[in-house]
Chains A and B, each alone.
Chain A
Amino acid sequence: MTFPGDSLQKELVETTQALSKLDIDEVPPQNNAEIQDLQLEPQFKDITAFLDEVTDEFKIGQLVHLESFGLYDAMSSIEIMDPKMDSGMILDSDLNKKPFDIKTLIRPEQVLWVMDRLFICEMSWHSGHSLSQTLFTCMYLLHVMELEPELFSNNSSDDINQNLIPIEFVILILKSYVLGIAKCCQLVWDEMTKGHVYEEEDFATNKYGISIYEDFPNSQALKLLDDAETWLVHHGSNWIRQTGMDKSEDIIRALQSRLLLRKSFLLALMHMTQPIRQQYSQAQHHLSICLQLLHDSKDDGICINGTIDLGVEVEGAFDPLINRKLVSQTPPRPIHLLSMQECVDELKNMLKNLIEICNIVDYKSATSLTNFMIYYSAKQSIPCAFSRSFLQSTVYSENRILGKLSVFQLIKDSVTELTNPPYIYFTSKTDIGTSVNGSHIDVDTAKISKLIHTFVDNAVKPLTDYFRILCHNRSRQRRNMCKVLSDWDLLQDEAEHIDTELQSIIKEEPLPSEEGPSYSFHLSSWVYHRKLILLEDILFLGFELGLFGDHEFVMIYWYLDYILGVHYQHLERTHMHVTDPRKFKKQQNFQFESSLQSSAVSLIVSQQVLTMARQDICRGIHRTIIALQKTGNYTPPKLEFDDESIRFWHRFRMYRTLGSPTILSFQDFKDTTRLDNITAFELLSFSLKNFQSARSSIENLLAIKPFESRMDFCHTDFTKDLQAMLRVCIANIISLHKILEEFDQKPITIEKVENEKTTKSRNKKGNKNKRKQKPSQKPPQNQKPMITSPEIKLVNKVANFEFKYHPWFPVITLK
């Protein structure tokens, strides 16, 4: 390649530079103030021609770039003049668009349309879309303060005379509604920015520097809504009737119900977001009004549902291209706003959830609070981000539980409800001061108190973290549960030390048991119980989130079977200590103690039955799958780059660092699931028994009273969950019966491995012939079929897993 002479090069550059400098004054258009500002920046030279020359010298694929600037950065840039990415591009469709004038008078049905559209935007925002693509697209929201009577009369007095549409439809009804929405959104925004949920994942809080009238007082918005309602009843409705339009009554009702809904929702939000959680009953009242308005009852006048499609579009009132005027680093995503019906359903769901949350401030017990959160987060219609954040604020904020209890109290209750430790453990310091001895504080008591406080201090973080996790979205829950496992493990370790010290102080006498003397370990038992629940939920959530493949089910359910078994034993042990008969002889206030004891017993028993039911289902499932593997109806995929032991290690890796329960190895798994000397038939019969016993356990659980199982707040969800499990059991029992019948009745084709291999290469016809030739090998009816070799197959059927009733447990059928 020839290089141009240095002098020539210089000359050229100088010429181009000179040229650029000469015409630089022409660059900024004179009529453009913004561009002129640039003149304060350094002078520019035109390098257009130079670039043409220099890029000719580039090799294909050559880049000139900053060292720090890589391909990755380049990929994240927005391409200009690409209609999909460049929001600043003027499209042909935009050219003929008239600017929207919000000061045009619009008809009541148009007002209705704007209201509904705003509502759709609001709910779409709640469902996770950005403000810039939802509420901020509304011209009325952006310019609501311009809706003033003076501006209207100046502008279009002629129009008023012509159309006779009262100006109040816009400046009162629409304005109050818009401001009502703005205030609701502000209150929601305040809640969402507390950081309880994942921003951008659950919710978008970016306001893009646009005000949603933060300074406009809530009370003012309420007053406007009231005024609008009054005006509508006294004047607006008359006007609508006089026009004699179709469905005038419907329109009046529609407007009325929307104003009322907005007012009630705003009031509810205002009560809910008070720093002291004492106005929940008022909030609940307003929430129920909202809910009534959304219900289908068409008969008693005011409701939203019947009036959804009455609105008439106002062209240009919503501008989806508003995004281009906002400070945004990313191009807008293609989004789909919800439909009106979906919005109504969403809001209904949200209101119901909020009402439930308002209930829990009436604290019953620590366990019922925890259970509420567990079942709340597991709801099948996923609670929206706002209600989850609100739950978190309600349960734990500013170091208080439900705005009134200390965390100490909560942990005390939680431990007492399960393991019922000696009364002296959690006696507070003031109680010690006024105890029997008066002036003299027992040295032992002081020691105990100190130990207990150490324990509680250690437990605060894991427990509150757990509460926080339960308010996250499902995927995050699992991820974060894995993260906090080690905290609980550490806590358990510490609790065991404290328990041992406490034992020596109170001179606890161990209970004799088969495995030697057994101490009660009140505190660590509680920790272990909670930890085991975490371990189980992590695996169960894996099913719910669809993280496991079919071929991993055996492994996972097998492991769950093990953990649930450990949990059951642990509860059994706790049960034994809680019902220790010697305890009562020592206690002074027998009545009080015995009530605590009996409630602990009923909680433990219900937990035991639940654990057992789950264990039975898990066992039934993995046994069925193993049996179907034996019969060849289920063949795990042969994956070339898959190593089962590595996958096993990977699936349970979060349990490896834990002190307890003992981790099982892949070898354990292989050894216990090989089951060579059990026939598929027997195995299936065992599974059948498992499902049957799970079924009866669940039926027992359904009969337990809510306060006994500490499901006071979430009994409906708990019952639903149990019923779903029950359905899983029943469906599996039916399916197993069918499979077992096929063993008995239908001829079983026995194809040896070699045969299978050969038939695979043959055509279908050959395959069919093969089957017809073999019916003689059918086992005799009365004799137990000898199905020990893995080559036996129930004809043409493949195992099918459907999580149709419960997200954690599949129904296994042959299809």
Chain B
Amino acid sequence: MTDTPKIRQLRSYLNLRSRITVSDSRIFFGTFMCIDKYKNIILAQTEEYREAEKRFVGLVMIPGKHIIKIEIEDLELSPEYI
């Protein structure tokens, strides 16, 4: 398995809360568990948001091709940006 600094960095994102926007404009908010080469991502304890509608969906796999945007909880956020 390849192990580059970037992949190491990516690994450090595991288990963090993440927010994924998909092509039909829903937003999924859950714990980052797993990713593969095609950016298929698995989130755990996920909540789904569609505008005002919110529901719990649990463990979901979001195919990479439907992902518009991925955000991850930022632990290193320094005060200057707030």
Contact = CB atoms under 8 A, between A and B. Distances in A.
Interface of A: 1, 3-4, 6, 9, 13, 17-18, 20-21, 24, 27, 32-35, 38, 41-48, 50-55, 57-66, 69, 73-74, 76-81, 88-90, 324-327, 329
A34 B49 contact: yes
State the 10 A-B residue pairs at the shortest beta-carbon distance, nearest first: A65-B34, A44-B71, A58-B37, A77-B61, A45-B74, A77-B59, A54-B6, A21-B81, A81-B66, A80-B62
Contacts of B5: 3-4, 6, 9
Contact of A60 (B33, B37, B62): B37
A81 B22 contact: yes
A329 B53 CA distance: 17
B74 A43 contact: yes
Given A58-B36, A80-B61, A327-B55, A20 B74 contact: yes
Nearest to B4: A57
Given A32-B51, A54-B9, A80 B28 contact: yes
A449 B10 CA distance: 75
B37 A21 contact: no
Contact of A77 (B22, B37, B60, B76): B60
A79 B73 contact: no
B59 A73 contact: yes
23 contacts: A13-B9, A18-B81, A32-B49, A34-B49, A35-B27, A42-B73, A43-B73, A46-B71, A47-B13, A48-B70, A62-B2, A62-B36, A64-B7, A64-B35, A65-B14, A65-B33, A65-B35, A73-B33, A74-B61, A79-B61, A88-B57, A325-B53, A327-B55
Contact of A17 (B36, B37, B70, B76): B76
B73 A32 contact: no
A80 B46 CA distance: 11
B13 A81 contact: no
Given A4-B5, A47-B13, A88 B34 contact: no
What is the interface residue range for chain B against chain A?
A: 35 or more
B11 A43 contact: no
A329 B58 contact: yes
Contact of B4 (A1, A21, A63): A1
Interface in B29-65: 29, 33-39, 42, 48-64
Contacts of B1: 59, 62
B10 to A, nearest CB: 5
B9 to A, nearest CB: 7
Interface in B4-28: 4-7, 9-11, 13-15, 17-19, 22-24, 26-28
A6 B5 CA distance: 9
A81 B63 contact: yes
A325 B58 CA distance: 14
Contacts of A65: 14, 33-35, 42
Contacts of A80: 22, 26, 28, 60-63, 66
A327 B56 contact: yes
Contacts of A55: 35-39, 64
Contact of B60 (A43, A45, A54, A79): A79
B2 A78 contact: no
Contacts of A327: 55-56
Given A42-B73, A57-B4, A88-B26, A69 B34 contact: yes
A325 B56 CA distance: 9
Q: Which of B34, B39, B55, B58 counts the most chain A CB atoms within 10 A? A: B34
A15 to B, nearest CB: 13
Nearest to A81: B66
B73 A27 contact: no
B6 A9 contact: yes
Contacts of A326: 55
A interface majority secondary structure: mixed
B17 A90 contact: no
A63 B34 contact: yes
A371 B48 CA distance: 54
A78 B34 contact: no
Interface of B: 1-2, 4-7, 9-11, 13-15, 17-19, 22-24, 26-29, 33-39, 42, 48-64, 66-77, 81-82
B59 A78 contact: yes
A511 to B, nearest CB: 69
A29 B27 CA distance: 11
Nearest to B16: A42
A45 B81 CA distance: 12
B69 A48 contact: yes
A18 B67 CA distance: 21
Given A58-B37, A63-B34, 5 more contacts: A27-B19, A44-B74, A81-B24, A88-B50, A327-B56
A57 to B, nearest CB: 5
A87 to B, nearest CB: 9
B33 A69 contact: yes
A324 B18 CA distance: 22
A63 B10 CA distance: 11
A324 B53 CA distance: 11
A506 B73 CA distance: 82
A55 B29 CA distance: 21
Contacts of A18: 81
A809 B35 CA distance: 56
A73 to B, nearest CB: 7
A126 B35 CA distance: 42
B60 to A, nearest CB: 5
A58 B7 contact: yes
A44 B72 contact: yes
B48 to A, nearest CB: 5
Contacts of A77: 42, 59-61
Contacts of B24: 81, 89-90
B38 to A, nearest CB: 7
A182 to B, nearest CB: 24
Contacts of A88: 26, 48, 50, 55, 57
Nearest to A33: B52
B1 to A, nearest CB: 5
A78 B61 contact: yes
A1 B10 contact: no
B17 A42 contact: yes
B6 A64 contact: no
B61 A64 contact: no
Contact of A51 (B27, B39, B57): B39
Nearest to A32: B51
Contact of A21 (B26, B35, B59, B74): B74
Contacts of B63: 79-81
A557 B17 CA distance: 61
Contact of A63 (B9, B29, B35, B50): B35
B8 to A, nearest CB: 10
A25 to B, nearest CB: 10
A1 B6 CA distance: 13
Contact of B75 (A42, A73, A79): A42
A3 B70 CA distance: 25
Given A1-B4, A55-B37, A81-B22, A42 B62 contact: no
Contacts of A46: 69-71
A456 B17 CA distance: 59
A57 B2 contact: yes
A51 B39 CA distance: 7
Contacts of A20: 71, 74
Given A35-B49, A41-B73, A79-B63, A66 B55 contact: no
